[in-house]
Structure 1
Amino acid sequence: MNGAGKQVDQGDFGFEERMRELLAEDAYTIHPSSAPYPAIRRRGLAERRRRVALTGAALITLAAVPVGAYAVAGGNGGRSADTAAPKPSVGAPHSPAGNTAGSTGGSTGESPAGTSAGTGAGTSGGPARPATDGQLLDGITFAQAADGLEECLTAEGGAPGGAGDLGKADDYRIILALKSTGDSNDPGDGIYVVAVKEGPAGFRVVCSLKDGVASGISTSSSDADAPGAGPVVADINGGKLYQQSFADKGKWKLPFRWGVIGTVEAPVAKVTVSYGDGGPVAATLDHGWFVAAGMLDQQVTLAPHIEGYDGSGKLVYDSDDDTTYERTLP
Structure 2
Amino acid sequence: MSFISQKRFYRSIVIISVSMLFIYNLALTVFKLHTNDIVFMDFHARWQESAYLCKGLNPYKVNDLNSIDSIGIINPQMITVPWAWLIGMLINPGFLPYGIAKIIGVIIYIGTYLITSAVLANYWLNNIVNNRKKDLLWVIFPGFLLGAQIYWWWSIICGNQGAINACIIIICLCLYKKHPIISGLLMTVAMVKPQLTAIFYVLLLLQKEYKLIFTSIISGLVSFLSVSLITKSTFVELLLQTFQSGSKLDGVFYGLFDVMKFFNAPIALILFADIVCGLLYVLLYWKVFNNKNCTNIFVLFSGVAIASTFWFYKQPHDNIILAIPCIAYLYIAYVTDKRRDY
TM-score (norm 2): 0.26
Select the structure that is richer in helix. 2
Using CA pairs under 8 Å that are at least 6 residues apart, name the structure with larger relative contact order, 1 or 2. 2
Larger Rg: 1
Select the structure that is richer in strand. 1
